[in-house]
């Protein structure tokens, strides 16, 4: 299998499609309406609780620009949000390259859209394990799978996608889009990718440290049946 080598990209990428799936919903009330003021044609795709928050923020306007991820993929979320964003159609939208004809054919074949911004942050694993008496099972249940995959995929494709893990970056993104007719530069996309990979690395390191400090008896004690 030969490696795909990219030789052409765009410095400025206009934001048209945004995916949001966040635990920390702080800042969305200012960020989402500003995105739409800059480009009223933006389409928003979101999961469960995030979808509900954005719908609340936008009111009646949500009907024309907001789509639930389960409606987009055709797959309902599983019980407890176990599987929400792990879907082929979503990852085409995250990883496809603008000037790759095969990638563009895949988008057309599946009806997928290329995402330009991904807003994602994770279940608070550190907060969970800091609680007194937390069990291995309680910690296990708070390990986010789809979120890190989505963040890493969008960060890998900084050639085209802005991966946003920190609400403190919302103002920077808005300022850049206002200055560039609704587009985000490669410089900012790359900085956001650096931050995204550091974020997921810290997340995984925290999980590894917690599990590494537990013995098998700690695990078995969670399942007495």
Which residues, in sequence order, are bridge partners of residue 46? 20, 68
pTM: 0.92
The pLDDT, as a whole number, for residue 20 is 97
The DSSP H or E segment spanning 198 is helix 186-212
Mean of pLDDT values over 163-190? 98
Residue 70 tokens, joined: 């389960």
Cα–Cα distance for residue pair 154/95, rounded to 1 Å: 7
Per-residue burial over 190-200, b = 16 or more CB atoms within 10 Å of its CB, e = otherwise = eebbeebbebb
Please spell the DSSP secondary structure of 105-173, one letter per residue. HHHHHHT----SEEEE----HHHHHTSTT--HHHHHHT--SHHHHHHHHHHHTTTT-EEE--GGGHHHH
Q: Report percent pLDDT > 90 for the chain.
A: 78
Residue 91 tokens, joined: 């990852």
Domain residue extents for the chain: 12-220
pLDDT band of 53, cuts 50, 70, 90: very high
pLDDT digits (tens, 9 = 90+) for 114-171: 999 999 999 889 999 999 989 999 999 889 998 999 999 999 999 999 999 999 999 9
pLDDT band of 105, cuts 50, 70, 90: confident
Q: Report percent pLDDT > 70 for the chain.
A: 94
- Give CA separation, 184 vs 20, 45, 50, 173, 191, in Å: 17, 19, 23, 7, 11
Q: 12-220 falls under which CATH superfamily?
A: Methylglyoxal synthase-like domain (3.40.50.1380)
CB count within 10 Å of CB 7 equals 5
């Amino acid at each position: 299998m030969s490696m795909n080598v990219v030789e052409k990209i765009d410095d400025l990428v206009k934001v048209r499609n945004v995916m949001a799936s966040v635990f920390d919903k702080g800042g969305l009330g200012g960020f989402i309406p500003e995105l739409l003021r800059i480009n009223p044609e933006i389409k928003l795709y979101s999961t469960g609780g995030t979808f509900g928050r954005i719908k609340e923020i936008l009111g009646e306007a949500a009907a024309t620009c907001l789509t639930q991820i389960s409606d987009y993929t055709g797959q309902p979320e599983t019980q407890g949000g176990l599987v929400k964003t792990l879907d082929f159609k979503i990852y085409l939208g995250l990883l496809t390259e603008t000037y790759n004809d095969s990638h563009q054919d895949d988008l057309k074949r599946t009806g997928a859209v290329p995402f330009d911004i991904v807003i994602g942050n994770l279940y608070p694993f550190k907060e969970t394990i800091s609680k007194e008496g937390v069990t291995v099972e309680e910690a296990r249940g708070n390990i986010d799978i789809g979120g890190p995959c989505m963040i890493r995929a969008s960060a890998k494709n900084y050639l085209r996608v802005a991966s946003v893990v920190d609400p403190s970056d919302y103002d920077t993104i808005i300022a850049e889009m206002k200055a560039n007719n609704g587009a985000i530069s490669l410089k900012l996309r790359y900085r956001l990718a650096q931050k995204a990979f550091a974020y997921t690395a810290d997340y995984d390191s925290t999980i590894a440290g917690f599990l590494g400090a537990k013995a098998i008896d700690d695990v078995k004690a969670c399942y007495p049946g």
